[in-house]
Chains A and B, each alone.
Chain A
Amino acid sequence: MPENLLQIGLRIAIVVAIFSFAMTMSAALIWLERRLLALWQDRYGPNRVGPFGLLQVLADMIKIFTKEDWVPPFADKAVFVLAPAVIVFTVLMGFAVIPFGPGIWVVDLNIGLLFFLAMSSLGAYSVVLGGWASNNKYSLLGGLRSAAQMLSYEVFMALSLMGVVALAGSFSLRAIVEAQAGLWYVIPQFLGFIVFLIAGIAETHRLPFDLPEAESELVAGFHSEYSGMKFGMFFVGEYLGIAVVSAMITTLYFGGWHGPFLPGVVWFFIKMMVFLSFFILLRATLPRPRYDQLMAYGWKVMLPLALLNLVVTGALILAFE
């Protein structure tokens, strides 16, 4: 019985650790993004509060908590409040299936990959409902755009992952990482990796795919009416989103915790940071496409590529086995 209790205690400790890691990560990312963007744009960025401006996020947090939390009288109140909670909830649930190191995961589902896809597709509700409940034409347009964008990019996001599933023979993320002990899947699945990377950016609606909140055309898109911590939730949700997509790329294509000398968790963290920085670099360099270009690109280029990847992978597996 005490052994059993120890087991349960360990599981709870891992859950708490992963949760705090995710939350700290999203706060640290805000600082990292502002500093890196400043570096690439030849300015300083936040460097006054604390060492290297690290406490800037904390100061912003205090500010955002003390701001007036305004619900517009014309909004649909219940849905308006629900929307920002949905994105944080679904993204945090996505962290549950990611194996950060040998033995370090919340749950090892035999449908882990599908669970991640399910959570990411539920995340679409947040933006769509936020846009609808605000009862504002700019918000509505933002919500409409995000509904179309997330639906289309989800299709080939899932398709691009099926090559990995076929190679590993399992939906379990632990099994997928273990199958990459010899060769990282980025080499046999390079096309799938590219498609997933692009779909991942679109799923988290980051620049250059941030059309739901395009400032130059839609004020702030779906979160125009949001203020205070409700806006903060959308913000945190977005950063948690890129963290979870980077973690998925590491898990599925770059061997997860595998690596020489250092412990597995450290390797996972290093690989994840590389992709996070890459996402920020993308934001600093690429302009935003027009909306119809985005949709055409999705359906006419990415979908055929994802299908091609799947067919070729399937044919090669059949030929060699």
Chain B
Amino acid sequence: MNLLFYISALVAILATGMVVTRKNIVHALLYLVVSLLAISLVFFVIGAPFIAALEVIVYAGAIMVLFLFAIMVLNLGKETTEQEKQWLSPAAWVGPALLALILAIEIVFLITQGQPAASVGLVVDPKTVAIALFGPYVLGVEIASFLLLAGLVGAYHLGRKDTPAAQCNCEGDRS
């Protein structure tokens, strides 16, 4: 199980690296999906199957498809790839690389000091997650749902059809 953990963690790291360095935005997005799937596997291996499934359903399966949808609508072509090439100049790598190095040193220090993280203690089944969510953490769930409701209302407001500007464009399409 430990080996599985390290393999999927390595895949996640490599894929995330590819996300940052790809110049084609759809390729970067695909690597991000791979990275999310790898993280889902990490969750599964350390005994959280419910979170693993939600990671795939919500992030890889829904949010990333939405990203892809937006990219397809934007019709980004060769120019954006060129632009990306300019932005990813070697000089731009110095700052992030330094910051990432600090984190890497910290992680190496932690791993050499204590136990490795991948210990399969207890498996958290869906019921336990639900009891925790709607027991001690119910306030957090409610606040998160307020936030989502605000987003939903906002999106509805932006997309409504009864503004004068929208009417002249859209009346023809609606039967």
Which B residues contact A (CB, under 8 angstroms)? 24, 26-27, 30, 33, 49-50, 52-54, 56-57, 60-62, 65-66, 68-69, 72-73, 125-126, 173-174
CA distance A110 to B130 in the complex (A): 14
With the chains together, A154 CA to B57 CA distance in Å? 10
Contact B65 A128 (CB under 8 A): yes
CA distance A53 to B164 in the complex (A): 60
CB distance from B25 to the nearest CB of A (A): 11
A117 closest partner in B (C-beta): B57
Cβ–Cβ contact B62 & A118, under 8 A:
no
The answer to whether B56 touches A122 (Cβ under 8 A) is yes
Establish whether residues A154 and B26, one from each chain, have CB atoms under 8 Å apart when the complex forms: no
Are A292's CB and B173's CB within 8 A? yes
User: Which of B49, B62, B65, B174 has the most chain A CB atoms inside 10 A of its CB?
Assistant: B65
- CB distance A76 to B72 under 8 Å? no
Selected from B24, B52, B65, the residue in CB contact (under 8 A) with A147 is B65
B173: which A residues are within 8 A, CB to CB?
A: 292
* B57→A114 contact, CB < 8 A: yes
A-side interface residues, number (CB < 8 Å) = 30
Choose among B26, B72, B174 the residue that contacts A79 (Cβ–Cβ < 8 A).
B26
Q: Given A147-B69, A154-B61, is A114 in contact with B50 using a C-beta cutoff of 8 Å? A: yes
Q: Which of B57, B60, B72 is within 8 Å of A128, CB to CB?
A: B72
In the assembled complex, the CB of B45 is this many whole angstroms from the nearest CB of chain A, namely 14
Contact of A151 with B26 at beta-carbon distance under 8 Å, contacts A110-B125, A128-B72, A143-B72 already known: no
Counting chain B CB atoms within 10 Å of each CB, the highest count among A111, A115, A132 belongs to: A111
Give every chain A residue within 8 A of B30 (Cβ-Cβ).
79, 82, 129
Q: How far is the CA of A201 from the CA of B71 in the complex (A)?
A: 27
Give complex CA distance A121, B59 in Å.
Answer: 10
Cross-chain pair count, CB within 8 angstroms? 77
A109 touches B49 (CB 8 A): yes
Interface contact B26-A132, CB-CB below 8 Å: yes
> Would you give the 0/1 interface string for A132-152, flagging 1 where the beta carbon is closer than 8 Å to chain B?
100000001001100110110
Decide yes or no whether A124 CB sits under 8 A from chain B. yes
Contacts A114-B53, A150-B65 given; indicate if A125 touches B33 (C-beta within 8 A).
Answer: yes
> Across chains A and B, which 6 residue pairs bring their CB atoms closest together, nearest first?
A121-B61, A114-B53, A118-B56, A147-B69, A111-B53, A111-B49
Q: Check A144–B69 contact: CB distance below 8 A.
A: yes
Q: What residues of chain B lie closer than 8 Å to A76, measured between beta carbons?
A: 24, 26
**Contact yes or no, B49 A144, CB < 8 A:** no
B62 lies within 8 A of A115 (CB): no
Contact between chains at B69 and A121 (CB < 8 Å)? no
Q: How long is the Cα–Cα vector from A76 to B54 in the complex, in angstroms?
A: 30
B72 contact from A110, A125, A132, Cβ within 8 A: A132
A217 to B39 alpha-carbon distance, docked (Å):
40
Which residues of the partner chain A approach B66 to less than 8 Å between Cβ atoms?
147, 151
Q: Is the CB of B57 within 8 A of A121?
A: yes
Rounded to whole Å, the gap between the CB of B77 and the closest CB of chain A is 10
The residue that A144 contacts in the complex, of B24, B61, B73, with Cβ under 8 A, is B73
Other than the given A79-B27, A151-B62, 7 more pairs (CB < 8 A) read A76-B24, A110-B125, A111-B50, A122-B56, A128-B72, A132-B72, A147-B69
